[in-house]
A and B are shown apart, each in its own frame.
Chain A
């Protein structure tokens, strides 16, 4: 690596203004990305705490660590925290906020004040949710099914629902901002098909954020109305239908899982290209696959309701559509794999996470096809099979992508380099811990262990013990990066502008970037991932 002559002593986005006011009133998308990073890390820790308690309880067959009522609260609050306060905002609001304007050559997002407002709204929602958890929590499951949530539960349903409702507006603001930014603020020459695939995936994510989240909002509002006024919108007393709640809830919540995974895919596209030093194979296919996932993802929600009482014909239609939605995801996996072929592959930490993602997401996705088959679903629905399936995608997928992305862009964000050896070890620990935690759960689910149960028959204890052991290893794997990344921010070696020698406008700026990203708006003449064309340029970086 050429010794980097430090940029002249101009301030970067971290040092240009100082003091707590400059952070809490900032409109700089990079600082807002960091604010979100602190928030989601905190909420992840809260959700992980609930998970730890659950796994400790499940070490023994009897419900002896906590009673069943408390266990109900634990899995509910784990789900609520992880879904709405970690997974949905994680990549879009941290990496997306930081990188989208830079990748398209803009100085900021379209509506910077709206961006800051979205963080405050998110924090208020989080505080409301945390408050209801401290007042005793909610025990309905993160899915709030009626009529239990509206009539029979004695816990803080309205409080938890209110927290989620408020944070939903943060999602909508973010999606709106990203769509307007990507449409309107691209630098001259940055045509749609020169955009990094990170942008395409986040655009698709934003479309889902904008169209699906309002349905969640109105559904939560309706259960609050039903609970407060004791009127039967979704309850049989007045002729209401509980399945209607499920239709409305899953109309949002299925696209929501694509909100959670598309940004992960966005990161992987960037990592695979950079660490194979090749353009992503089949760029156009991958770009349109993102859009296809977003669109088809809206048509499959009934696969969560196969045994709920919807009509068989409806179930058949949703089953076929669910098979269809796997196709664009598979296209992406094939294309990422093809990118590696004849590429110059290096095994830096971000690449370890990326390869891990591809493998684990494939397992998660294929088990989704098991679930989409009506006959199999009747057997494994509401068992640990489903839990393993979505954790392979959410944790094996999204969280790995998040960690990979954080490591990859860490030099740009912090201006420091993280310790590579320790980071690779942590990635390995995460991978091993993850598989030990969740693979036994596929077996448990197939054997029939129901989800959301605090107690289980003794013959399943061995598998549960394996799972809990894996969870503790996974926890260590997550704690290590938290420690060494913070350490590197303070004491790590300074990073050059382009430590990975990657293409992309974000690498054309100093590390860390100045407040306005680009002194002069760049003019784009190259296609995306032009490793061939930029060989000389990148060699000299």
Chain B
């Protein structure tokens, strides 16, 4: 395993700063692709919501607002711990970084736990398209379409969370093993960017799925 000093300056780069800058640009470009990736689903949802407003609002009423709100708070907190871990590693406090990364991973797992609980509740209420879906509403077609988008979008988000949590754990271990220092911690920096982006996606998912059915 190479030391931080070696990893900080690979041969095609002129300075460590340049390498860090380009790595950052690389991650931002990747996040732009993710905007388009999730964007396709957001666009489809927007169009169907316009066509089937009533049915989609009925679908939204099936959401568990308490669990959703708690999840949002959990994920925002994990963003805080992630941002703080980037700060700590940049000033050389690797032990704090390690703790904060672990906290981020734990909060991420809490989020997933609540999310899968919600999925199970939807299953119990027979609202899982393709597996068990029943509805007595005159808008049952639109409600099923709502849930298709719900499961696809939150499922894709959950997949991104799983990948993110795994990398957070790996980086926590690498921090504990001394692979990062104040000079070289670019991986944690760009992991942070990814994590915050996944949080941003959830913030929008929460807005479009949970809110419009609250007034009943």
Q: Which residues of A contact B (CB under 8 A)?
A: 101, 106-112, 172, 175-177, 179-180, 183-185, 210-215, 217-219, 221-222, 225, 228-233, 237-241, 244, 248, 516, 521
Please tell me which stretch of B105-113, B139-147, B174-182, B197-205 contacts chain A, meaning at least 4 of its Cβ atoms lie within 8 angstroms of it.
B139-147
Contacts of A244 in B (CB 8 A): 44, 47
Smallest beta-carbon distance B66→chain A, Å:
28
Across the interface, do B25 and A218 meet the contact criterion of CB distance under 8 Å?
A: no
User: Cα distance A107–B12 when bound, in Å?
Assistant: 5
Near A by CB (< 8 A), chain B positions 131-157 give: 131, 141-142, 144-145, 148-149, 152
Near A by CB (< 8 A), chain B positions 43-94 give: 43-44, 47-48, 51-52
CB of B18 closer than 8 Å to a CB of A: yes
Smallest beta-carbon distance B190→chain A, Å:
12
Contacts of A176 in B (CB 8 A): 26, 29-30, 33
The interface centre, meaning the residue of B12, B30, B40 with most chain A CB atoms within 10 A of its CB, is B12
Contacts of B40 in A (CB 8 A): 214-215, 218-219, 222, 248
Total number of B residues with any Cβ neighbor in A under 8 Å: 36
Across the interface, do A211 and B25 meet the contact criterion of CB distance under 8 Å?
A: no
Across the interface, do B12 and A106 meet the contact criterion of CB distance under 8 Å?
A: yes
Smallest beta-carbon distance A466→chain B, Å:
43
User: Cα distance A212–B33 when bound, in Å?
Assistant: 8
Ranked nearest first, the 6 interchain pairs of A and B with the lowest CB-CB distance are: A229-B130, A218-B40, A214-B37, A214-B36, A184-B22, A108-B12
18 new A-B contacts, CB < 8 A, other than A184-B22, A213-B33, are: A101-B12, A110-B26, A176-B29, A180-B29, A183-B25, A212-B36, A214-B39, A214-B40, A215-B36, A215-B37, A218-B41, A222-B40, A222-B152, A231-B144, A232-B145, A238-B144, A239-B51, A516-B11
A112 (CB) vs chain B CBs: closest residue = B12
CB of B32 closer than 8 Å to a CB of A: yes
Across the interface, do A210 and B22 meet the contact criterion of CB distance under 8 Å?
A: no
Across the interface, do B22 and A172 meet the contact criterion of CB distance under 8 Å?
A: no
Across the interface, do B52 and A239 meet the contact criterion of CB distance under 8 Å?
A: yes
User: Cα distance A111–B10 when bound, in Å?
Assistant: 10
Known: A180-B25, A184-B22, A185-B22. A233 touches B145 (CB 8 A): yes
Across the interface, do B12 and A185 meet the contact criterion of CB distance under 8 Å?
A: yes
Across the interface, do A211 and B44 meet the contact criterion of CB distance under 8 Å?
A: no
B18 (CB) vs chain A CBs: closest residue = A184
Contacts of B118 in A (CB 8 A): none
B47 (CB) vs chain A CBs: closest residue = A244
Among candidates B13, B26, B145, B149, residue contacting A239 with C-beta atoms closer than 8 Å: B145
Across the interface, do B33 and A172 meet the contact criterion of CB distance under 8 Å?
A: yes
Near A by CB (< 8 A), chain B positions 1-40 give: 11-14, 18, 21-22, 25-26, 29-30, 32-34, 36-40
Across the interface, do B33 and A218 meet the contact criterion of CB distance under 8 Å?
A: no
Smallest beta-carbon distance B197→chain A, Å:
13
CB of B129 closer than 8 Å to a CB of A: yes
Smallest beta-carbon distance B40→chain A, Å:
4
Contacts of A210 in B (CB 8 A): 29, 32-33
Among candidates A177, A239, A241, residue contacting B142 with C-beta atoms closer than 8 Å: A239
**Subset of 29 A-B contacts with CB under 8 Å:** A101-B12, A106-B12, A109-B12, A112-B12, A172-B30, A172-B33, A176-B26, A176-B30, A179-B25, A184-B22, A210-B32, A211-B32, A213-B33, A214-B33, A215-B37, A215-B40, A218-B37, A218-B38, A219-B40, A222-B44, A229-B129, A232-B144, A237-B141, A238-B144, A238-B145, A238-B148, A239-B51, A244-B44, A248-B40
Across the interface, do B44 and A248 meet the contact criterion of CB distance under 8 Å?
A: yes
Known: A215-B40, A218-B40, A230-B130. A179 touches B29 (CB 8 A): yes
User: Cα distance A232–B22 when bound, in Å?
Assistant: 43
Across the interface, do B148 and A231 meet the contact criterion of CB distance under 8 Å?
A: yes
A238 (CB) vs chain B CBs: closest residue = B141
User: Cα distance A211–B141 when bound, in Å?
Assistant: 32
B130 (CB) vs chain A CBs: closest residue = A229
Contacts of A213 in B (CB 8 A): 33
Smallest beta-carbon distance A211→chain B, Å:
6
Known: A180-B25, A233-B145. A225 touches B152 (CB 8 A): yes
User: Cα distance A240–B38 when bound, in Å?
Assistant: 19
Contacts of B26 in A (CB 8 A): 110-111, 176-177, 180
Contacts of B149 in A (CB 8 A): 233
Smallest beta-carbon distance B157→chain A, Å:
13
Contacts of B36 in A (CB 8 A): 211-212, 214-215
